[in-house]
Amino acid sequence: MRKRNLTINDIAKALNISKSTVSRAIRNKHDINPLTKKRILEYADEHDFHPDIVAQSLRSRSTKTIGVIVPAYHIPFYSNAICGIQDFAMKMGYNVMICHSNEQYEIEIKNVDALLAANVEGIIISVARDTEKNEHIRKLKRLGIPLVLFNRVIEDFKAAKVVVNDYYGAKNMINYLINTGCKNIAHISGPNNILLSNNRKAGYFDALTEAGLLINEDIVLEADFTMESGINTTQKLLEKNEKIDAIFAVCDAVAFGVIKVLKQNRIKIPEEISVAGFTNEPMAELVEPSLTTVKQPIYEIGETASKLLFAQINDPDLPPELCVLDTTIEVRESTRQ
């Protein structure tokens, strides 16, 4: 139960004027005598008046709130991207409501409903690992809710999207590895229902092909985006006894798993095997050896997603824009020079 706050009616009564006039004064409208306005504002200031945002929302039919759904909150990539989203939203005078799906499709559906129930004016979403269907996303589109997908996007779906150039990022990294003398580069990919996994994998293949290197499908394994899966997959990879001089992981978390297993097996990084990741999480420079990785502009990704969303909110007929941000290669100790 909210405490009873001062309302424009109270002010109106106290100053013996109408609430319409008070409203005009507060919202700095014309149609008002500068003197009465001053009188009202002084009174309001003195008594710490704040217009009730709920009543405003009801009347204006606008909640000034946007929603965000991410797979997991505590993954550094997402908490940093959320920063970018939120900072820009605040500049626009909007609040942000954040949900996490915990990588589960069912929860993601519930999140969507929760945000709809809260009457958000737009939604930014990065889909869960499990999300194969996307009826809940199409529903948003049907309802005409402004929508932006980022990072993990849905391929055959028309909507505003923010991604990085996964293909070229991966390709550049493989080229770099090749330039440092690696010839047998393994790849631990992400789930192939996620677009970015396939794009990065394609970059890997094409870089090898263009360099005239043989492709060995035996050293391309699939993991998800966790360190645990990186550990398991690396163990499987080593058991194959293939000749390997580098491992390119779909993301940093997986690369951390790779490093862990290689060190356990006393394999020297990068002398025997170079390791490269993708994202540049804060941890990347702390692990030993520090991780060479494809650096994503994480904060900007969130910020851009926010910008695209507000562009839609302000002009609902805007055609969906695909925004591809550039990556750079951050060379550290885990790859040979």
Query: What residues make contact with a second copy under the rule CB under 8 A?
Result: 1-3, 50, 52-55, 57-58, 61-63, 73-74, 76, 79-80, 82-83, 86, 90, 95-98, 100, 114, 116-119, 121, 143-144, 256, 260, 282-283, 286-288
Minimum Å distance from CB 105 to a second copy? 17
Torsion angle of the four alpha carbons 281, 220, 191, 85, in this order, in degrees rounded to the nearest 10 = 20
Cα(92)–Cα(122) distance, rounded to whole angstroms?
Answer: 13
Nearer to a second copy, 125 or 170 (CB): 125
Q: How far is the CB of 116 from DNA (least distance, A)?
A: 13
Q: 175 contacts which partner out of DNA, a second copy, none, CB within 5 to 8 A by kind?
A: none
Nearest alpha-carbon partner for 20 in 46, 40, 42: 40
Q: Which of a second copy, DNA, none is residue 79 near (CB under 5 to 8 Å by kind)?
A: a second copy
Distance of alpha carbon 337 from alpha carbon 65, whole angstroms: 49
Nearer to a second copy, 12 or 283 (CB): 283
User: Would you say 146 or 203 has its CB closer to a second copy?
Assistant: 146
270 with 335: CB under 8 angstroms? yes
The long-range contacts involving 88-93, CB below 8 angstroms and separated by at least 24 positions, are: 88/302, 88/303, 88/306, 88/307, 88/310, 89/306, 89/310, 92/306, 92/310, 93/64
Kindly tell me which of 57 and 193 has the beta carbon lying closer to DNA: 57
Q: Of 83, 76, 82, which is closest to residue 283 (Cα–Cα)?
A: 76
* 23 binds, options DNA, a second copy, none, Cβ within 5 to 8 A by partner type: DNA
Residue with smaller CB distance to DNA, 9 or 235: 9
Pick 188 or 291: Cβ nearer a second copy = 291
Residue 177 CB, shortest distance to a second copy, in Å, is 22
CB 176 within 8 A of CB 329: yes
Q: Are 224 and 130 in contact (CB under 8 A)?
A: no
Q: At what angle do helices 19-26 and 34-46 cross, to 10 degrees?
A: 80
- The binding site for DNA (CB under 7 A) comprises 4-5, 7-9, 16-21, 23, 26-27, 30-37, 51-52, 55-56, 58-61
